Copies of this chain bind each other. A is one copy, B any other.
Amino acid sequence: MTEPREAETETPEDDFRLNRQEQEAINRAVDDGDGPALDALLEPMHAADIADLIEQLTPARRREFLHLYSGEIDGEILSEIDESIRDEVVEQLPRDVLAEAVREMDSDDVVDLIEDMTPPEQQEILAALDDSDRAAVERSLTYPEYSAGRLMQSEVVTAPEHWTVGETIDFLRAEEWLPDQFYHVILVDPRRHPTAYVTLGKLLASRRDTPLRDITEDSFRPISVLAEEGDVAYAFNKYHLISAPVVDEDDRLVGVITIDDAMSVLDEEHEEDFLRMARVSDESHVSDGPFQTARQRLPWLVANLFTASLSALVISRFESTLTQLVILAALMPIVASTGGIAGTQSLAVAVRALATRELTSANARRVILRELAAGMLNGLGLAAILFLAGSLILGAPMIGAVLGMAMIANQIVAATGGVLVPLGLSRLGLDPALASGTFVTTMTDMMGFFAFLGLASWILI
């Protein structure tokens, strides 16, 4: 085997994205009010890239852009535009363009577009749809937010269970309307209960007289219309599903979820967890202005003023100790901050493991004990370093010893707190990613200062 080469970070995908020159040409066309130039520049672009472009324009230029380009905004572009600016775009589109765009969209994209609108705004868009599409969208909206019912599209390709491959192909050829993308033909019984599915690959590769029943897939797995979208994405990823039928409470087929929608949900859930762990609202966008940004972040900062005041209170109990040995003030953040890092590490592992269902009631006890032991081990290691540093650098072995002992205590608190807090929140039905960090670092800060100053006043003073 030859030596592997390096993976390229410049990918062919970059060819489809805007370089700076193109970006400037587009800005110029917008500023000059030159509609035909703009159309020509955007003509080769993918709808997703046009949507990105619209998001990245400054608000003033975006208005001008929409004024020039609105006639070209179709269903595909509209469904790609990020929620943060979608209302703004929808408001500026001429009503006929909007109606036409909405008619082109699959029912799940229409639901996604209008679910956060007010009822009058919803009605205006629904009015543009055919009766059957409108009924499908309205039905989806009766299901809870973040449920499979909101995620599914109602456009489904079905066949009676007793059909053969040939009958199915003839039906598909005769059918005027088919979804843009579909991957299975779903077999339904006379009461419209889905019973199995057949991949299009098997349909194409089998003889015309083959009964559909003989070529169904093991992976068939109907999803309840009330299932939570995060669980749906998890199932798609875990079981390598490509599409799955959605059934109502009577087990009747009401729609289908495809993997691209599941992939978007997976992506969003990850992003949400990532931002929540850092105490940022998952409503944050790069396009937000400074006021919006400041407002989203302030609540957590104010919360931290309060939790930090608890630490200040702990420290203030040791004022006389600090007066006698002021170097303690310089050293005390070491114990607290290293505890904070350890708590965050333990917390991150636990939050991920809860999200991937790897941490369950079956192994929680083992994981807690593992964290306890790991915290003790790292505490011992860090304590050894601190004792040496205290002896050799500060020339004060007893201070090193106190630092070390406080560190052991705080590492144990950090490691076990980092798993107990998210487990507790999750048992209460709360999102473990949301507030765990605040709890855990408050614990490690208070414990860090208390253990260090407490031991110091007992041993050193």
Contact = CB atoms under 8 A, between A and B. Distances in A.
A278 B322 contact: no
Nearest to A386: B305
A409 to B, nearest CB: 15
A4 interface: yes
B337 A234 contact: no
Contact of A289 (B143, B300, B370, B445): B370
A4 B275 contact: no
A224 B16 CA distance: 14
A312 B286 contact: no
A341 interface: yes
Given A301-B378, A374-B294, A336 B338 contact: no
A370 B312 contact: no
Contacts of A46: 239
A237 B263 contact: yes
Instruction: Count this chain's copies in the assembly.
Output: 2
Contacts of A8: 147, 224, 226-228
A333 interface: yes
Interface in A246-272: 259-260, 262-264, 266-267, 270-271
B237 A267 contact: yes
A259 B237 contact: no
B352 A271 contact: yes
A92 interface: no
A95 interface: no
Contacts of A386: 305
A56 B362 contact: yes
B338 A7 contact: no
A232 interface: yes
Contacts of A270: 266-267, 270-271, 274
A179 to B, nearest CB: 8
Contact of A297 (B280, B319, B374): B374
A382 to B, nearest CB: 6
Contacts of A264: 237
Interface in A332-388: 332-334, 336-338, 341-342, 344-345, 347-349, 352-353, 357-359, 361-363, 366-367, 369-371, 373-375, 377-378, 381-382, 385-386
Contacts of A11: 223-224, 227-228, 231-232, 235
Given A290-B373, A294-B381, A311-B334, 15 more contacts: A8-B224, A8-B227, A9-B228, A13-B221, A20-B361, A172-B201, A181-B199, A183-B242, A266-B266, A266-B270, A304-B337, A305-B334, A305-B385, A312-B331, A329-B332
8 contacts: A5-B144, A8-B228, A12-B222, A46-B239, A173-B205, A178-B205, A204-B204, A319-B327
